[in-house]
Every structure is written in structure tokens, then in C-alpha cells.
Amino acid sequence: MNPIVLLSILAAIIVALIIFVILLKSFKSNKKVVNTEKKQSTIADLIKEVKECTSTNELNKIVLYFLQNYSFSAKTSKTINDDAKLMLEFLSSVCANNNSDAKMISFLSTELSKKNPSYAKEIDIYEKMGIAKRKFQ
């Protein structure tokens, strides 16, 4: 085979690989943007899932997902911002769920207090509120 033909085939393969790599990187960066947007709206969705949850294993998975993916913003004043209120409402919902047990509630409260010591008082209050709601269900 002619060396010029071989070089042109090789050049075409290299160009195709470069285009493929660029498209792959573009796809991955778009995927990260979608995941970030999804994360913003899911605390309310997680609360809804907790309220509808019918098994302890499912509830454990939701709690672990929450702990791995969310954290409170820094507390700058005595008032609680809306994001923190949603997260505290998640804690309260878990405590109110009939499928949660003392071990799960304790684990969630402890981990949240470790990550966010400035919210320790609020975490205790919302935990007690959730347990109180559970008694009236």
C-alpha cells in the first residue's frame, strides 16, 4: 500500500479520536451541571420520600444519601435560613416516620451535630418535634 494513503488514514483516525475526546468531555461537564441542579431541588423531594417511606431499609438509604450529599450553610445569626429549615424538617420527618428506630434517629442527629456544631440546639429541638409528631400518628 502507498505510504501517502497510510499517512492520510492515520491522520484521519487521529482527528476522529480528538473529536471524540472533546465530545466526551463536553458530555461529562453537562452531566455535572444537571446533577448540581438536581441536588438543589431534592431536599423537599427527600422529605416527601421520607413521609411516604414504608420500610426501614429504604429509610436508611435516604438518610445516608442525605448525610453524604447535604450540609448546613454556616450559621451567621440567631435566625435560621430557609435551607437550614428544610434540612431540619428532613430530620423531623425521619424522626416522625414509624419505620425509623432509635438507632437511626440517634445516628442522624449525631452526624448532623458533628458536621454542624452551630446548629446543635436546633437539631435537638427538631428531633424532639419529630418524635412528638410520631406519637400522635
| pLDDT digits 0-9 by tens, 7-42 | 888 888 888 888 877 877 776 655 444 444 445 447
Residues 6+ apart with CB under 8 A from 51: 93, 96, 97
Name the percent of the chain lying above pLDDT 70.
88
Radius of gyration (C-alpha) of the chain in whole angstroms: 24
**pTM of the model as a whole:** 0.68
Rounded mean pLDDT of the chain? 83
**What local confidence, expressed as pLDDT, does residue 34 receive?**
41
- Average pLDDT on 44-53 reads 91
Query: Are 108 and 94 within 8 A, CB to CB?
Result: yes
Query: Are 90 and 47 within 8 A, CB to CB?
Result: yes
Q: What ranges in 1-137 are assigned the alpha helix state H?
A: 3-52, 56-69, 82-96, 102-115, 120-135
